[in-house]
Amino acid sequence: MSAQRDLDELAEEIRAHKGAGCGFEVCETCTQLVPGVGPASAEIVIVGEAPGAREDAAGVPFVGAAGRLLDTLLAEAGIPREAVFITNVVKARPPRNRDPRRDEVAHHWPWLERQLDIIRPQLLVPLGRHALARFAPDAKIAEVHGARLEGEGGRQLFPLYHPAAALYNGGLRATLFEDAQALRAALS
Ligand code: URA
């Protein structure tokens, strides 16, 4: 079976989880689960924490204000959005945008593992400290952003600050653009 078909079937499985009655609040209260978007051939996978309100409504990750900044950063890095796979650690919007709980992360984590097993990206870009913590538990985003880092299991990471953080902190915006240029250089 092709990797693309595996990835599409996994997306269907994730979407079908809505209404499965698992009892986890995120799965019960979201409008829909948001598996991720992008091709199985992606060499880069971008991982946020969890969908927000816009993503919950659209069923697509990073389509709100943070997503628009992410698009600009990808352009700065010379990476077409259609060439990367974009997803989240948790596939369902936490109510009132609270942080996902530890048991919710554990509940959703196997889906991300399976997506990564299918795609086998060269580089994984965790956005923000929450996503980073899942791949490099001891790393601090303030110390490791904008450079390559080896994560757990030998995964090649290139952590960036979360674009949403830059919406509230103008100083981070400049840092994110510098890091996007560093990403471009790391890929060339
Ligand atoms: N923030 C995230 O972490 N993920 C999204 O999909 C949107 C905003």
Rounded Cα–Cα distance for residues 146 and 95 (Å): 31
CB 111 within 8 A of CB 91: yes
| Element spanning 156, H or E | strand 156-157
Res 127: pLDDT: 98
The pLDDT, as a whole number, for residue 41 is: 98
Positions of the chain with pLDDT under 70: 1
Question: Which amino acid, one-letter code, is at 168?
Answer: Y
Probe ligand 1: pick from 34, 47, 88, max atoms within 8 Å of CB? 88
Residue 40's pLDDT is 98
pLDDT of residue 170: 86
Spatial contact of 118 and 13, defined as CB atoms under 8 Å apart: no
The CB of 51 under 6 Å from ligand 1? The reply is: yes
CA of 52 to the centre of ligand 1 (A): 6
Per-residue pLDDT, 1: 66
All structural domains of the chain, each given as residue ranges with its CATH number in brackets, are 3-187 (3.40.470.10)
Distance between Cα 150 and ligand 1 center (Å): 23
